[in-house]
A and B are shown apart, each in its own frame.
Chain A
């Protein structure tokens, strides 16, 4: 989470993907870096034990969320800073 916030601060449009089991620490890290409510893509836990089909299904869940985050909330909006 810190990495994508660092990247955005350098002007690189970024999106994080996080499992639902790790949201508490993701939110804490975003708040620590001055971005409370930072939006990221959420996929179900777990990931590490998935086979190729399971990973593909997760990617299909994540992709539209990532695109929406990268496009931002609308004209003039800061990418990823939905609250």
Chain B
């Protein structure tokens, strides 16, 4: 129904609903956009979509003095606009976010301003309508938009990490509202991410990676696999993203690029190995940006924060030092490269997701646990 036809509908008293939406704003429960008021009846509908105990604790983060239960996650999913049947995916998404290891290490408070990128794999994509094709990072798809949004509402409402207070993000990034994609398994020439991580193709899973930004790579004027990967490598090694001597990276390859690479004989592993060799900067580029030296971190630095990887800093060398042309790689290992296929096969476009720091576990991951009993049957 077009918006201008709505005036012909019988009048409905929306005032109580609008007042409830305003109430949620007044309580500081929103991300700035309106939320669905989480009435007890609505939350119960969500809880009936899982076998899990509503009081099961999914995370306990001491610096916030808060835990997150299945019920609290369900409340946030309801507020975010999810359908009740999304809840098992939401729970897996939250578990994946925790599994990455960043929240307990303080990432949600960080000036770096990352937010979780969720990657959904498996049959649940089509069952619930997750978009894996055109506009995969963009708007228009309820499952992507609301499952991703739920993570932010959990961070704000369950853990109390609000901007200008505990959230110290210097600039943040738009993905902090919602950032959830599905892998385009049907148009990928390679095995899907969750199978690569050891799962079965008939189960569903969510992977998570706190991300500071998505950079596009537009390369549709060549059919040479190395041209495309060199272009992706340049974005991986952009100097502004270099904070440490080594990084991890997620590459979201468009189906057109993926099929072109596969046609020229490249496996997913080949792609990762090529990028390790070719995501490089010249030492002179690093000198010009004050990032050509590495300050080692103490040997007792906590591994959980990824801080064992030294910080980039000026070396003090002159810009005309004869070593300026030396290639410096930013990736340590093919295992530090995540390759996912997503988007439409209608142009040579790919993207890199620049993670927050050096993720402790890469990626965070959790399997979706579907409800076993039919709806309405008692637990």
Contacts and interface: CB of A to CB of B under 8 A. Distances in A.
Interface of A: 2, 22, 24-25, 28-29, 32-33
A32 B168 contact: no
Contact of A33 (B65, B109, B164, B167): B65
B109 A25 contact: yes
Given A32-B64, A32-B65, A32-B166, 16 more contacts: A2-B62, A2-B63, A22-B168, A24-B164, A24-B165, A24-B168, A25-B109, A25-B165, A25-B166, A25-B167, A25-B168, A28-B165, A28-B166, A29-B166, A32-B160, A33-B65
Nearest to B165: A28
Contacts of B62: 2
21 contacts: A2-B62, A2-B63, A22-B168, A24-B164, A24-B165, A24-B168, A25-B109, A25-B165, A25-B166, A25-B167, A25-B168, A28-B165, A28-B166, A29-B63, A29-B109, A29-B166, A32-B64, A32-B65, A32-B160, A32-B166, A33-B65
A8 B65 CA distance: 17
Contacts of A33: 65
Contacts of A22: 168
Contacts of A32: 64-65, 160, 166
| Interface SS of chain A | helix
Interface of B: 62-65, 109, 160, 164-168
A32 B165 CA distance: 11
Closest 5 CB pairs of A and B: A28-B165, A2-B63, A25-B168, A28-B166, A25-B166
Nearest to B164: A24
B150 to A, nearest CB: 23
A32 B168 CA distance: 15
Contacts of B63: 2, 29
A29 B167 CA distance: 10
**Most-contacted residue by chain A among B109, B164, B167 (CB, 10 A):** B109
Contacts of B64: 32
Contacts of B165: 24-25, 28
B110 to A, nearest CB: 10
Contacts of B168: 22, 24-25
A42 B64 CA distance: 23
A12 B215 CA distance: 46
**Most-contacted residue by chain A among B64, B164, B166, B167 (CB, 10 A):** B166
Contacts of B164: 24
Contacts of A28: 165-166
A9 to B, nearest CB: 12
A55 B166 CA distance: 26
A46 B63 CA distance: 24
Contacts of B65: 32-33
B256 to A, nearest CB: 41
B107 to A, nearest CB: 14
A6 B25 CA distance: 33
B304 to A, nearest CB: 14
A31 B236 CA distance: 40
A25 B160 CA distance: 12
Nearest to B311: A48
Nearest to B313: A48
A24 to B, nearest CB: 6
B165 to A, nearest CB: 4
A25 B163 CA distance: 9
A25 B111 CA distance: 11
